[in-house]
Amino acid sequence: MDKDAAHEYLSSLLNQNLRVVTTDGRLFWGQFKCTDAENNIVLAHTYEYRPPTEEQRAQAMTQAAGSNMTLDMTSRYLGLVVVPGHRITKMEVERFASQMGQWDGQTVV
């Protein structure tokens, strides 16, 4: 992708909600505000979601006694955050079906 196309794409993401997953398993959900040369991401109005700890999973497994179990992620409101670029493993733009149009399996039409 050339520099102009990359700039245009990043500009299109401004104020969009992003889900950013980090190396330690946390998920940050917030409004994209900017990035820098080190790939750091600034999000506003951000919530942090943490997966259950090993202890919580072990306790739930003993209580479930072989049946299916569901554990919720813990969350908290953070506000304005900087997510270090070297910690980011995945980023997704939040899109709803009404924003995407019809999906034919390959492309949006």
pLDDT digits (tens, 9 = 90+) for 50-79: 988 888 888 888 887 777 777 888 899 999
Q: Hunting for tokens 């997510």 — which residue is that?
A: 83
Report the pLDDT value the prediction gives residue 64, as an integer from 0 to 100.
Answer: 78
What does the pLDDT look like over 32-54, one tens digit per residue? 999 999 999 999 999 999 988 88
Residues 61/65/66/68 CA torsion (nearest 10 deg): -60
Has residue 12 got a pLDDT over 80?
yes
Mean pLDDT estimate for the chain: 86
